[in-house]
Amino acid sequence: MNKGAIKSQASGHMGEAEGSASVAEARDERPLFERFDAADVRALIEGYPLAWVCGGGAGALEASLLPLIGVYDGEDRLIELIGHLMRSNPLHHALHENPRATLLFSGPDAYVSPEHAGRRDWAPTWNYAQVKVAAEITFDEALTEYSLKVLIDAMEARRPAPWGVEELGPRYGRMLTRIIGFRARVTGLSGRFKLGQDEDDATLRAILGALPDAESVAWMKRFNRER
Task: Give a yes or no: residue 8 inside a domain.
Answer: no
Q: What distance in Å separates the CA atoms of residue 131 and residue 148, rounded to the nearest whole number?
A: 23
Indicate if the pLDDT at residue 200 is higher than 70.
yes
Whether the CB-CB separation of 105 and 133 falls below 8 Å is answered with: yes
List for the chain the helix, strand, coil content (%; round to 5): 35, 30, 35
Indicate if the pLDDT at residue 99 is higher than 80.
yes
Task: Give a yes or no: residue 173 inside a domain.
Answer: yes
Indicate if the pLDDT at residue 168 is higher than 80.
yes
Task: Give a yes or no: residue 180 inside a domain.
Answer: yes
Task: Give a yes or no: residue 11 inside a domain.
Answer: no
Q: Look at residue 28 in the predicted model and tell me its pLDDT.
A: 87
Mean pLDDT across 196-220: 98
Task: Give a yes or no: residue 14 inside a domain.
Answer: no
What is the total count of domains within the chain?
Answer: 1
| Owning domain of residue 66 | 21-223
Confidence of residue 40 (pLDDT cuts 50, 70, 90): very high
Tell me the per-residue pLDDT of 17-39, one tens digit each, with 9 for 90 and over.
Answer: 333 344 445 578 999 999 999 99
CATH of the domain at 218: 2.30.110.10
Task: Give a yes or no: residue 122 inside a domain.
Answer: yes
Mean pLDDT across 178-200: 98
Task: Give a yes or no: residue 155 inside a domain.
Answer: yes
What is the model's pTM?
Answer: 0.85
Task: Give a yes or no: residue 10 inside a domain.
Answer: no
